[in-house]
Amino acid sequence: MEKSGILYIKPISAKLVRDVEMLGIMSPYCEIKIDDQIFSTKVCESGGTNPHWSDEFIFKISGENHIKLTVIDRRTIKGDQEIGSATIPLENIFTTNILEDWIGIYHENENAGQIRIYMKFSPGSQEFPSKIGNIEPKLIGFEHEKETHPLHDFTLPPKHETKAQLEEFSGGLTDTDPLLKFERRKTD
């Protein structure tokens, strides 16, 4: 069974039973961690216990066995606070290649709710796709030539022309930063 390739992940929404805001409404975001790669969705401002996200992420994986999802409440004064998390074994996605499901999240072994997630695995792929369906993520932080992805005839977007454009799209990442960041880009 192939355990290396490209893993596409989209956190869709959550149904949270743990509310960490005493006064006001939670503004949750989802953090996804695979090995040393960490990405976060945008904050769902005032999403409360039913946040929705529209971010998509693409990870290059090679032998990892699980991912960790953490739902976090964005706080401006006291600092962000974890609502709950889940560790998901990747064994099923390696065999089925597609998974969409509600996953239970927990905080200190107590039920914190559920998160709905969509994942798609492309085994053996070594290039980052630029388009999955109508979703065209931006690859930020690395210069690259236009290439084709074998699974869906993906093409990579052209490299950013200037350092200013790179910094504008990356929220502060520089062209020397080893991390990648994908964001949704409107396509025609």
pTM exceeds 0.85 for this model: no
Which two three-digit tokens encode residue 20?
A: 């960490």
Q: In whole angstroms, what is the distance from residue 188 CA to residue 128 CA?
A: 21
Q: Which of 166, 123, 131 is nearest to 148 (CA)?
A: 131
At 171-180, the pLDDT tens digits run 444 444 444 4
CATH number belonging to domain 4-123:
2.60.40.150
Residue 102 is predicted with a pLDDT of 97
Q: What percent of the chain has pLDDT over 70?
A: 66
Cα separations in angstroms, 90 against 23, 74, 124, 126: 38, 28, 15, 18
At 31-83, the pLDDT tens digits run 999 988 899 999 999 999 999 999 999 988 888 889 999 999 998 888 999 99
pLDDT band at 145 (very low <50, low <70, confident <90, very high): very low
Which residue type does 76 have? Answer: T
One DSSP character per residue, 87-102 reads EEESHHHHHHSEEEEE
Q: In whole angstroms, what is the distance from residue 152 CA to residue 131 CA?
A: 8
Q: What percent of the chain has pLDDT over 90?
A: 50
Domain residue spans of the chain: 4-123, 130-188
Q: In whole angstroms, what is the distance from residue 138 CA to residue 157 CA?
A: 7
